[in-house]
Structure 1
């Protein structure tokens, strides 16, 4: 279980995340939904130890992240929101680097590289630099690197962006299979159809605040006779701001 316990992240007076309390269960796919700047990447960056909270704590299976950072990081596969990293390495060099960091035995790492590179149709370009790849190819490279260690927690920040339809389908199937084995998948998206297709539960963020947690069925039941897009925009979009202005 992953727990955010009253977690906030401030930059001066600006609150990127406000008093987030949230629990993610083992065996579920949990989607963080929200507009750009809603706090999705901030939440993910806190869990992956890229940044530290201003207040509150994060626990993984009862272990406090700040006290067990190295052990918890080795349990997390992370795909950042941008694939523009380690651009001077070849794909193979990047994958081998991550395998060593996570302590994956070389033969097992090679077997996973072969399987994943074939799945994502990148097997013939392993020795080219990441800098030479298109956005979609970079995204595939980063995803493969994250999955080679195959830890129990997958944290994926907008992972489908730039992927072709086949790669997108394959990754979604892998996410489902990973959760079905009792593992946890946390991913962010602003594409509602993806959330509806994949998520056991979602959390909607708006301006750093968590405004809904539950299943999509719960959300629809709370707003009968409205489609998902309308519900979402009423909760998190400009419609809410417009109505607030009218009331004033």
Structure 2
């Protein structure tokens, strides 16, 4: 179980996250939704100790993160929102580096399965800098999943993936949660959120504005799509006259 209590993060006078409180149960796929700058990545980076919150606390399986970073690190894997790291390494060198960092003694079988799943068998000796965005994303995902820890924290993990790789990752996420483990991810894709999430947190300008299931959200807003509901509570509600005006101008 992950408990986030009154978590806030300030950058000078700017508040990126304000008094976030929520609980993430094991066996769930938990999704974070929100516009750019809403606080999704700040929350995920706080969970993996990349960012130090200004106030509040995070508790993972009864251990407070601030006092137990190493023990909690062993429970978590993380995929950042950009795959542009360690670009000078080959894919195989990158995976070997992660294996050494996590003291993984025998990863060859699991690595082979992941490499085959993501179709990278012919690319393992090429540098990450030579890859497209999607190929880098696949390499980062393989590295993150080598240790198969209890908690997966994935920041926009489907971004740049081809349809087959995205589908395979979604299936892995579902199976991981079915084993009683936890998947936490952020996304801008509402269809993906609706397909996968047991619970959602919607953030707006650093504040939590919804926490619950997709179905409960739909039930609260009858005859509206998830897209319409999301835009209604998280941002500007589409003004049809404005859309019509813009479309009309484009045909002048």
Q: TM-score, normalised by structure 1?
A: 0.95
Q: Does 1:186 align with 2:184?
A: yes
Counterpart position of 1:132:
130
* SS of corresponding position for 1:66: helix
What residue number does 2:224 align with? 226
Q: 1:103 Cα deviation (Å)?
A: 1.3
DSSP 3-state at the match of 2:200: strand
- Hey, what does 2:42 align to over in structure 1? 42
Residues in 2 aligned to 1:74 and 1:178: alpha-carbon distance in whole angstroms: 16
Deviation of the 1:234 alpha carbon: 0.5
- Classify the secondary structure of the residue corresponding to 1:238: coil
CA distance in 2, matches of 1:115, 1:184: 21
- In the other structure, the counterpart of 1:97 is 97
1:43 deviation in Å? Answer: 0.2
SS at match of 2:32: strand
Counterpart position of 1:246: none
The 2-side partners of 1:227 and 1:170 are apart by 26
**Number of the residue aligned with 2:29:** 29
Task: Return the alpha-carbon distance in structure 2 between the equivalents of residues 20 and 86 of structure 1.
Answer: 32
Residue 239 of structure 1 deviates from its aligned partner by 2.5
Moved over 4 A (4+): none
How do 1:1-248 and structure 2 match up within 5 A? 1-106=1-106, 109-239=107-237
Normalised by the length of structure 2, the TM-score is 0.93
> How many residues are matched?
239
Per-residue deviation, 1:131: 0.4
Using the TM superposition, give the Cα deviation of residue 76 of structure 1 relative to its aligned residue in structure 2, in angstroms: 0.7
